[in-house]
Structure 1
Amino acid sequence: MTLIQEFKNGVCTLTLSRPQVFNSFNKEMAFALQNALDECEKDDSVRAIVIKGEGKAFCAGQDLAEATDPNGPEMQSIVKDHYNPIIERIRSIEKPIIAGVNGVAAGAGANIALACDLTIAKESASFIQAFSKIGLIPDSGGTFFLPRLVGTQKALALMMTGEKVSAKDAVAMNMIYKAVSDDSFEEELTKLAENMASMPTYGLGLTKRAMNVSFTNNLTQQLALEEQLQTLAGNSADFTEGVNAFMEKRSPVFKGK
């Protein structure tokens, strides 16, 4: 088994499970993650998704033993069939997706974490654009997400040098959402995920849809999209519940609809 799937309190946790190789991806794990994300998207009881790693690492990227195996998948297939569909799913699923970075996140592992909606990391964790060390370019959306998060100069420097970035520094440069102490990591990750799952996730999904195109739309296009999506949100059961709960001075119970 290369992926552990657990469900509790509206949260589906997907744990990359190849700890003996720091959860580096092979074909089996890539397809398992793709299939699990598909299941999460279709299951209405799943209100939020967590991706994390087993053991000491989050994910060390591609398993180079597979990538260099003469009988293994070619590089083009690894990028096109293994990683690109994962990134597409992370961005298109209209539910909160949280990366829980419990250790090193390198190469494709780092960029999968950065593609998620929120990334929370142990203070001892680190992020590495390791591709340049072996003559490759960043994939898994790295050239898309990283410059948008930290700016082009910093992104290029991190990509070209392969510099290791601590979790605290990643927060400081707006690469990730939050770094927490190692001891409180699991508690903070669970709290964040369950909080997301309890919120009006239909509206959160629409927010994600708007954010996905906000860097390519012009202002007029984005205002028109906000109008369209706000109309959908305003007609949702969650909006009605939120208003009623506010008026009745009680805690809302959202259904994600």
Structure 2
Amino acid sequence: MNMHDKNVLDKLSVVIPAHNEAVNLQNLLPTLIARLNQANIPHEILVINDNSSDNTELTLKQLMNQHPTLRYINNAPPNGFGLAVRCGLQAFTGDAVVIVMADGSDAPEDIVRFYRKLQEGYDCVFGSRFMPGGKAVDYPLHKKILNRLANNFIRVLFQFRYNDITNAFKCYRRHVITGLQPLLAHHFNLTVELPLKSIIRGYQYAVIPNAWYNRKEGVSKLKIREMGSRYLFIVLYCLIERLFSRGDYKIEPQAKKKLQSAHN
């Protein structure tokens, strides 16, 4: 393949938001870096330390001495999953970016598969835990029920087949992140804002199965009672854009080519 082909990716950025995840990062980062090196994927691992009060920053400093592709940024207060991810999306240096959870719920092998799929020419690759080949291990039943209700509601509302829009594990080319600005979500509702805007604005996406594993250490930061209205806000915001913007934000082929060439 010609190295100037628009589909070729030179470098993958892995953005990992982390709030009090010292133990999980010690387990995740060496395994993840080893898998990317084994697959010969040029990469950076960018951890966003989201105002942690444990040894997260000390752990990152120690790991950086062993792994030259690892770096971290301290997110300014206030903390929040969405704000931390947005910090990473402003600072990553790769040709594409994948968002990975610090708790080890995402499989390093899936990151490799997403990267390879993106090289087929797609703008985005979305994961689904609920399609053939996908799996969710030890998913709490009450969360799974709410997840399925929310995702089916969004599917009906937007009339697409993708069934795991709330899945945080997704991969985007750099020009897509540029084209999705400005981002609004401060919390886990960013996991909905990014793919919904991508779909509405006309970026080409692929959906492939991925695995999800419940965390072994620490406590989940997702507070269901607090997030309902925030998810609904983002969903309605994106629906308003789709119904009433008259395509003002939709990416056109020529604009897409300009965005791609600007980052080559």
TM-score using structure 2 length: 0.31
Normalized per residue, the structure richer in helix is 1
TM-score using structure 1 length: 0.32
Whose Rg is larger?
1
